[in-house]
Chain A
Amino acid sequence: MKRALLYVLMLGGLLGGCVTANVDEMTFDAPVAGMGEGSIVVLGRRHAPDYDTEPDFIDCIGNHISRGSESISVIPERQFVDTLYPWFEPRTAPLSIESVGRLMMLPSVANKLEDLDLNYMIWIDGRTQDTNSSGSMTCGVGPTGAGCFGFGTWGTESEYEATIWNFDDGAEVGKMSALTSGQSYMPAVVVPIPIIAPVQDTACDSLGTQLLRYLSAGS
């Protein structure tokens, strides 16, 4: 029994080394200078019929930027959307910076955005999903105990695009994207041991780093 567990752990370690993540980065309109001190908000797009950009991914990007720069204040997504309800709901959220101009014609919205002292609004659109899967696993329960035997594997892909709106200039100033993929494994000899590829975390790190570089360029 102990030997079997040891083999499983060794196999897990070996396969853990095989977990890969590919990152594809694209940046347009490279910035000349960073934003310095100011506040930004990172928002997820939620108007697609078959997916929502995950709120935890948006939090991850926000935290990445907060950790990377003390001068940038990141307004939490939920707080921002609630403060400006109903103007950033899936039905009403502006799809272009020009639409924000129309929104600013409402005195209450204009005053609130001024209070928030917002420099940049960053929209994230995308998702993480499982792709191919293969393998099989059987589990059983007997008088002496329970256990599983088999092997399963599945692929995961993350694709996200960030669009940056500059509130001071009233213009869209940048777009960047991250595409990551990886393979996860689950060998089982008595106990199933999941070896999960950190695909979404890698996408978060990649996109967060690009955004941070953009927002703090030159500083």
Chain B
Amino acid sequence: MVGRLLDSMTLGRKAQRLLMLIILLVLAACTSREVIVEGTFPTPLVDPVPVSVGVLFTQEFKEHELVDDATGRGEVSWRVSTGTAQVEFWSTLFPAFFQNVVFIESYADLQAYDVDAVLIPQVADVQYAIPLYTNVKVYEIWMRYNLALAEPEQIIDEENATISLENMQPFAEWPLTSYGKTPTAFMQSDIDAVNLAAVMALRDAGANFITSFLRVPGVMDWIKNPEEAQ
């Protein structure tokens, strides 16, 4: 349609191409929203759990993003990148929550550090709702994580000298849910509102983690005797 419209105009080939590019860029901007979640995250006020933990952020976790393509007329495509904010948030929370924390990046790290267990958070699902879909003047984000605590030996692949989660058998494994919402009234744009809802969801995930960690089956026994994980 855009091509036919341009053909009807008296324009040179180059000018037509440029105009088409501009029109397509404008149309794309109108129908998609991209949010790279950003925020400042406070250090939690907690009495640290007396254990030594290695934290492993997988590549999927570091690069996590929610992609929702528009399917109907009037809908907008959304791409919400949470990975960087996830890493920043949990990197603030874990060192305050556990007495000793090291971040595991490689097989060599696992060999070098003596930790009681390795904690692996994974994002299982992220969903969102905006006023366009719900008719409620709030922006909402839901997150669901799967967390696992495993002995370091469980994720070592000695043969290939790498980290492998394939055959991991964690001694504690649990889901964690979180929710964040933002009213539209004081926000300036959809993007700001979704960003803030995501930040609120991250904060809620942290609150949920801190208040529920000691009730996770297997965790209390491990804390009492961290040298011998279940």
Contact = CB atoms under 8 A, between A and B. Distances in A.
Interface in A30-87: 50-52, 54-56, 82-87
Interface stretch (B1-9, B16-24, B51-59, B204-212): B204-212
Interface string A88-100: 0111100000000
Given A50-B136, A51-B183, A85-B203, A92 B43 contact: no
Contact of A86 (B44, B136, B138, B183): B44
B181 interface: yes
A128 B211 contact: no
Contacts, number: 54
B208 A91 contact: yes
Contact of A108 (B42, B46, B182): B46
A89 B204 contact: yes
A106 B204 contact: no
Contacts of A128: 185
A54 B47 contact: no
Give the one of B47, B182, B185 with max A CB within 10 A: B185
Interface string A147-181: 00000000000000000000000000000000000
A55 B183 CA distance: 10
Given A107-B47, A112-B45, A89 B185 contact: no
Contacts of A55: 186
B47 A91 contact: no
Q: Which 3 A-B pairs have the closest CB atoms?
A: A86-B207, A82-B42, A85-B42
B19 to A, nearest CB: 21
Contacts of A109: 45
B42 A91 contact: no
The contact size tier of chain A is 20 to 34
Given A82-B42, A91-B208, A92-B211, A54 B203 contact: no
Given A82-B42, A83-B42, A86-B206, A106 B186 contact: no
The contact size tier of chain B is 20 to 34
Interface string B100-143: 00000000000000000000000000000000000011100000
Contacts of A50: 136, 138
Nearest to B200: A90
A93 to B, nearest CB: 10
Contacts of A84: 45
Contact of A90 (B137, B183, B185, B204): B204
Interface in B120-169: 136-138
Contacts of B46: 106, 108
A162 B43 CA distance: 29
A56 B188 CA distance: 13
Given A51-B138, A54-B183, A108 B45 contact: yes
B42 A52 contact: no
Give the one of A55, A56, A108 with max B CB within 10 A: A108
Nearest to B182: A52
Contacts of B207: 85-86, 89, 91-92
Give the one of A51, A89, A112, A128 with max B CB within 10 A: A89
Given A52-B183, A54-B186, A86 B211 contact: yes
A111 B46 CA distance: 11
Given A56-B186, A92-B211, 11 more contacts: A50-B138, A51-B138, A52-B138, A52-B182, A54-B185, A86-B206, A89-B203, A91-B211, A108-B46, A108-B47, A128-B185
